[in-house]
Amino acid sequence: MQLAFLLYKYFPYGGMQRDFRRFVEESQARGHHCRIYYISWQGDAISGAELRHVPVKARTHHRRNEKFLEWVESDLARDPVDGVVGFNKMPGLDVYYAADSCYLDKALNERGSLYRRGGRFRHFSAFEEAVFGPASKTEILLISETEKAKFVEHYATDEARMHMLPPGISPDRRAGPDAQQRRREARAKLGVETGEHVLLFVGSGFIKKGLDRALRALAYVREEQPHQKIRLLVVGQDKVRRFKWLARKLKVDEQVEFLGGRDDIPELLLGADTLIHPALDEAAGIVLLEALVAGLPVICTDVCGYAHHIASAKAGMVLRSPFRQEDLDAAVLRCLDGVYRSQCRETGLVYAELTDLYSMHSTGVRLIEEAIVRKRGEADA
């Protein structure tokens, strides 16, 4: 098949972008030709894929998105493909991978009526309805039961078009027999002192992922247990100025390191003591499962799509909504207990052995193939 993959922005450190890459590579492995349309691209190209840069600019993101779609539709009319797979919501998709949460739900519950009168709202709600609305024929690949329920509630989406995928952790992320040796090496590279507790925060999009909450929890531990050696490693590609300011204000700037985007996440997961992910909004949260299969205890909020795996595995603590800072503070204190962390590690690794956390991309590409074959049959009928 000739497949077109649509994505506004690619960079190597986003969870959705990493899934994008693996979907394309899996499609190629199954013999399909993959054409990629994008506005911006950071990092290595995908070997063997045909990249088509969409040279559009606009003063607003929503106008840029509209121009992107116009350009792609024109190009596809000249040079058609068998199927179109989108990783951002927009009209005209055969298949959509739902990495993002429900926009309309957030607009109705977290924004005022004035916001919903603007052009941004009209654009994003219309593009979302083009995928999930009752008139749409787009097949949808989902990763979160919570978000699925929101889409059904707001759009009455036909559930026959909605397909829940298993997670897609790369098997090489699992803790192997050399995990302890790799942990010692990682901690040595980071300069971790004996008895020092390493909190790890991973995620591009610091506001949405709750970095301010993590900084406040660090400050609480420093106040409650001033003799406890502890540091917070912040990994991700985002603006850091406001968070460095907050760390100084909370008097924990010496205990916080901003590492930027990194390619050595597996080593950091092995070297850390706790993953802290107090997200405000997170459709999935692949890093939660990467931590779980690496044997790293997790603290996360229940808004994360994959939080139920942490709860089922007893691999850490899932904080209930509505979020309370004191719950996060207490959870971090709890994770200072080495016996508790050892229990989380053991139950998490057993869960990783018994549960399918790995087949998202092969399952997803099979569903893409089936959806496009069905549409061909309907068109020929």
Distant-in-sequence, close-in-space partners of 324: CB < 8 Å, separation ≥ 6: none
Residues 6+ apart with CB under 8 A from 139: 94, 95, 96, 161, 163, 367, 368, 371
What's the CATH superfamily of 173-354?
Answer: Glycogen Phosphorylase B; (3.40.50.2000)
Q: pTM for the full model?
A: 0.91
Res 377: pLDDT: 85
Joined together, the tokens standing for residue 11 give: 């960079």
Task: Report, as ranges of residue numbers, the positions in the chain whose pLDDT lies below 70.
Answer: 381
Listed by start position, the domains of the chain span 2-166+359-380, 173-354
- Note the residue count of the chain: 381
Q: What is the pLDDT of residues 276-305, one digit of tens each?
A: 999 999 989 999 999 999 999 999 999 999
Q: Rounded to the nearest 5 degrees, what angle is found at the Cα of 123, between the Cα atoms of 121 and 124?
A: 70
pLDDT tens-digit map of 26-80: 999 999 999 999 999 999 999 999 999 999 999 999 999 999 999 999 999 999 9
User: Which DSSP letter does residue 255 get?
Assistant: G
The Cα-based distances of 323 to 111, 168, 326, 327 in angstroms read: 18, 28, 9, 8
CA atoms 47, 50, 54, 60: torsion sign: negative
Residue 327 burial (CB count, 10 A): 16
Report the CATH number of the 2-166+359-380 domain.
Answer: 3.40.50.2000
Peptide bond into 166 cis (omega under 30): no
**What is the structure's pLDDT at 169?**
94
Check for a shared fold between 2-166+359-380 and 173-354.
Answer: yes
